[in-house]
Amino acid sequence: MCNVVDFNTDEYHYKLPVIYGTFCEKAINISQLRENTGFITFDPGFKNTGITKSSISFIDGEKGILLYRGYPIEDIINKCSFIETSYLILNGELPDTAQLNFFSEKIKKFHHIHKDIKKILYNIPNFYHPMGILSSLTYILDAFIQCLQEEDLYLHLLAKLPILAALTYRKKIGVPPSHADRNLDYISNLLKMFFSIPNQSYEQNPIISDALNKILILHADHEQNCSTTTVRLLGSAHSGLFSSISAGISALWGRLHGGANQAVIEMLETIFKNGGNVNKWIEKAKNKKDPFRLMGFGHRIYKNFDPRAKIAKKVAENVIQQLGISDPILDLAKNLEENALKDSYFVEKKLYPNIDFYSGIIYQAIGFPKDMFTVMFALGRLPGWMAHWKEMKLNREPIGRPRQIYIGYKKRNIKK
Ligand code: CMC
């Protein structure tokens, strides 16, 4: 293992220190490069730039590995609840029984929101997208929570974001709010707040709870993705937790990021309505003159397979089969995946289905409408965003402020 890399030009001979991670991932530390040579590095989209040292999650994109705090995602999915996973991601270790009870009970204590926030929500037009509502109201929450302990703020957000999501949904379909029940666990409460029928006792369905638990775990963290980087960048300017999370939600909304789950279902439905000829759409995706992309395919980091997509596909198949639903969209998705994976364009560019290819099918089977899919992703990603915000703060990271190469006018004078 080398400790330095030589940077040689005709003018400069400079040694750049090398940093190694737990799995021998290597990075050249260029933080003093400009000071010593005048050069900066150029990397649009941060494709090859490490912005921090982190101990929350690890991805090996070539091998399709994802670890949360060292535990493989396949292990967590089979042995943990979403709320245990949230504790793990936020605190670094899995909770023992007492810690889990304390964590869950405290979240339940914060399971209410101020009536004035409800008023604001009820004044937002129904056509506005739930992601815009969630982002705005997360920001506003800050004004209504007087909390001295930072640890409690994380629990307030875990408690309150599902309420905002469920209220948004129920208001849109014209149904009165359903409150959380102290006897229910986190996932059952989430489902109750969304789907309970007024004046009827809420019946839990373990198949649905299990599917939701699993898909939220799959979303829980994913190292320095676009929304997490957004949260860290805001936090680095010492912006508050709520505004940083609100910005993360806005970043996630984009179609190339979390918004892809809604876009995938819309794409699959369009293909289905147009006769289901998947090869025609694969050709369209390959055509560089056509802006169409195969939504739910490709990933910045995964270049072999996305381990989350493999699990999500199984969860989708199980939930659909166990609920006895016949969903032609799942068959179409499998057909599209099979054909794309045989196509040389997708093979050469290493484009595989990502988590969003199957997550929409799961949400649809549970009963969420399409415009709620990305909101569910946000609820799943919340522990990850908060853990990164907390880590960034504990590390006392400097304000995020990239440089640029200026290509505009040279200095000129106004002629008048
Ligand atoms: N369909 C067709 N071509 C694609 C696709 C696609 N889905 N994805 C990438 N390509 C092509 C792209 O045109 C480019 O071709 P070329 O080298 O000829 O210019 C090449 O593959 C590399 O793509 P890129 O856009 O440079 O890669 P990136 O790392 O900047 O983007 C991505 C990654 C996920 C934004 C992109 O693959 C994409 O747009 N996928 C569809 C949207 C999607 O499913 N997003 C969800 C991502 S996973 C959930 C999450 O955000 O965490």
Cβ–Cβ under 8 Å, residues 387 and 221: yes
Summarize pLDDT for 35-55 with one digit per residue, the tens: 999 999 999 999 999 999 999
Q: Identify the CATH class of 4-65.
A: mainly beta
**pLDDT at position 120, please?**
97
Does position 326 have pLDDT exceeding 90, yes or no? no
Q: Looking at residues 23-44, what average pLDDT do you find? A: 96
- Give me the CATH topology for the region 72-251: Citrate Synthase; domain 1 (1.10.580)
Nearest CA to ligand 1 atom 51: 257
Rounded to 5 degrees, what are φ and ψ at 40?
-115, 170
Catalytic residue status for 356: yes
List the catalytic residue out of 111, 156, 219, 299: 299
299 lines ligand 1 (CB under 6 A): yes
295 lines ligand 1 (CB under 6 A): yes
Report the Cα–Cα distance between both ends of the chain, in Å, rounded: 62
**Backbone dihedral region for residue 96 (phi beyond 0: left; psi -120 to 50: alpha; all else: beta):** beta
Ligand 1 midpoint to CA 79 (Å): 32
Summarize pLDDT for 242-258 with one digit per residue, the tens: 999 999 999 999 999 99
CA 93 to chain CA centroid, Å, is 21
CA 159 to chain CA centroid, Å, is 18
Does position 154 have pLDDT exceeding 80, yes or no? yes
212 lines ligand 1 (CB under 6 A): no
- The answer for residues whose C-beta is within 8 angstroms of residue 138's C-beta and 6 or more apart is 157, 161, 164, 242, 245, 246, 249
**pLDDT at position 327, please?**
84
Summarize pLDDT for 393-410 with one digit per residue, the tens: 999 999 999 999 999 999
Cβ–Cβ under 8 Å, residues 150 and 91: no
Summarize pLDDT for 198-236 with one digit per residue, the tens: 999 889 999 999 999 999 999 999 999 999 999 999 999
What's the predicted TM-score (pTM) here? 0.97
Note whether 4-65 and 72-251 share their fold.
no
Kindly indicate the confidence band of residue 300, based on its pLDDT and cuts at 50, 70 and 90.
very high
Q: Which atom of ligand 1 is nearest to the CA of 349?
A: 21
d(CA 260, CA 21): 31
Instruction: Look at residues 160, 126, 185, 201 and name the one whose alpha carbon lies nearest to residue 369.
Output: 126
129 lines ligand 1 (CB under 6 A): no
**pLDDT at position 146, please?**
85
Summarize pLDDT for 102-145 with one digit per residue, the tens: 999 999 999 999 999 999 999 999 999 999 999 999 999 999 99
Q: Which atom of ligand 1 is nearest to the CA of 300?
A: 29
List the catalytic residue out of 219, 306, 356, 388: 356
Does position 148 have pLDDT exceeding 80, yes or no? no
Domain ranges of the chain: 4-65, 72-251
285 lines ligand 1 (CB under 6 A): yes
